Amino acid sequence: MSPDPDADLNSMSHAELLSAARAMRDAIRSHRDTSGHELCWHHPDLWALLPDAPIGGQIVPDWPQFMRGCIRYRQSLDNQLAQAPRSDREFGE
């Protein structure tokens, strides 16, 4: 069995736990509130709040698989956020 990735929480004071919770909430809100092309980008600030890194590092899909995933993600936004405003802004504008 692998070690507990959250074992560090056991040694934190109440104030440290509150600070960590606030930092996580800020990062989650920042991730949630992204829009436009930023939705397609990874968010290392959110991942940096974790004390551990993924075993084997980040895995990046090849282009065809990546593009299929992006299309499926964008389609899911149509289902989940059907009433959200749309933008015709190009990447980099």
What pLDDT is recorded for position 41?
77
User: Which of 18-22, 28-32, 46-50, 52-56 has the highest mean predicted lDDT (pLDDT)?
Assistant: 18-22
Return the higher-pLDDT residue of 78 and 46.
78
| Token output for 62 | 């090849």
In angstroms, the Cα distances linking 82 to 50, 52, 70, 75, 92 are 32, 36, 17, 10, 25
Q: Which residue has the tokens 């991730």?
A: 31
Structural domain count, the chain:
1
In a domain, 11, yes or no: yes
Is residue 2 predicted with pLDDT exceeding 90? no
In a domain, 1, yes or no: no
How many angstroms from the chain centroid is the CA of residue 91? 20
Return the higher-pLDDT residue of 30 and 39.
30
In angstroms, the Cα distances linking 50 to 33, 36, 44, 47, 54 are 20, 26, 10, 6, 10
In a domain, 93, yes or no: no
Range of the domain at 47: 7-80
